[in-house]
Amino acid sequence: MSPLRAPILPTEVRETVKLYLDGKIDQWYSLQNRVGVAFILNVTDIAAAHDMLEKLPLGQAHLMSFELIPLGPLNPLRQLQGMSTGPQ
């Protein structure tokens, strides 16, 4: 671990837990075979996700990098027999 990150981590964890408890982070995972985490965020806008992560302590200290990947429903499932795209 970077000696610059160590003193920030307790605050980073508290702020991340607050986002989880506020419903902004839906799920979080540790990455296997490398350092880092993956968050499933409850936001509809990439700019909002970026802003939220940059406001975390490691983001403010410029000690964190991240990649934002938009997720959505698996739309091919709508092709299954009996599935409808309209209201029921």
Is the distance from CB of 20 to CB of 28 less than 8 angstroms?
yes
Reported as a single tens digit per residue, the pLDDT across 26-39 is: 999 999 999 899 99
Query: Is the pTM of the predicted complex or chain greater than 0.85?
Result: no
Q: Is the pLDDT of residue 24 over 60?
A: yes
Reported as a single tens digit per residue, the pLDDT across 51-75 is: 999 999 999 999 999 999 999 888 8
pLDDT range class, residue 84, cuts 50, 70, 90 = low
pLDDT of 61: 95
Q: What is the DSSP string of 22-58?
A: TTSEEEEEEPTTSS-EEEEE--S-HHHHHHHHHTSHH
